[in-house]
Amino acid sequence: MKKQCVCIISGGMDSALSAKIAQNEGYEIIALHFNYGQRTEAKELVCFRSIAQSVNAVKSYEIDLPFFEQIGASALTDKSIDVPTGGIEEGVPVTYVPFRNGIFLSIAAAVAEKHGAEALFIGVVEEDSSGYPDCRESYIEQMQKAINMGTKEETNLSIKMPLVALKKFEIVEKSLALGVPLEHTWSCYKEEERACGVCDSCRLRLNGFEVAGAVDPIDYA
């Protein structure tokens, strides 16, 4: 049997590259996506399906987590909080979803244990991200320890973060070099038809393409 990994794939550029790297490392991919009431949920799901297909995923999970809307406290899941469009600021932005990656990794661990997978891949980026505390390498390392303590003795999961030290332009360059279908990825926090171009995530993406000297294949308003 080929070695297997679970790839958390949001539909964005980072997780698409992370999944491609997993494929290139010889893993058979179990693709995992979460619908958690985010503003661009429908668009992200379409992108996830395209990305999973592009890496020949042997199994796909689309898991609904409606309780994130109930918790709220994030501009991504609470429509009464505006998505900021004035540029990236210091500190943790209102688009941070409380403990999202911790919850995602916990569910991914359950899926991985079911399948006897060796690894989890997550496309977190520390230095060039929006300031989310759950994207830090030190935090993910601690989650790996906790997951391995709380699972069966024969379960020994490695959480891989192949992009954690990269800048956005390096992610663009590497994605283009590896043939990641960037036209089937979505980064915008606000819109599903045409990306807004002004939310933090759009700004980071556009700047990454600009510094890389490449053209973003998706439509912007």
Residue 131: what pLDDT? 84
Express as a percent the part of the chain with pLDDT over 90: 95
165, two tokens: 């030290």
pLDDT at position 167 over 80: yes
pLDDT at position 44 over 70: yes
pLDDT digits (tens, 9 = 90+) for 59-78: 999 999 999 999 999 999 99
Q: What is the mean pLDDT of the chain?
A: 96
pLDDT at position 47 over 80: yes
**Where residue 166 falls among pLDDT bands split at 50, 70, 90?**
very high
Residue 129: what pLDDT? 66
CA distances from 154 to 114, 149, 191 (A): 12, 11, 44
Residue 60: what pLDDT? 98
pLDDT digits (tens, 9 = 90+) for 168-179: 999 999 999 999
Residue 128: what pLDDT? 65
Residue 159: what pLDDT? 98
**Where residue 197 falls among pLDDT bands split at 50, 70, 90?**
very high
**Where residue 88 falls among pLDDT bands split at 50, 70, 90?**
confident
Single-letter residue type at 103? I
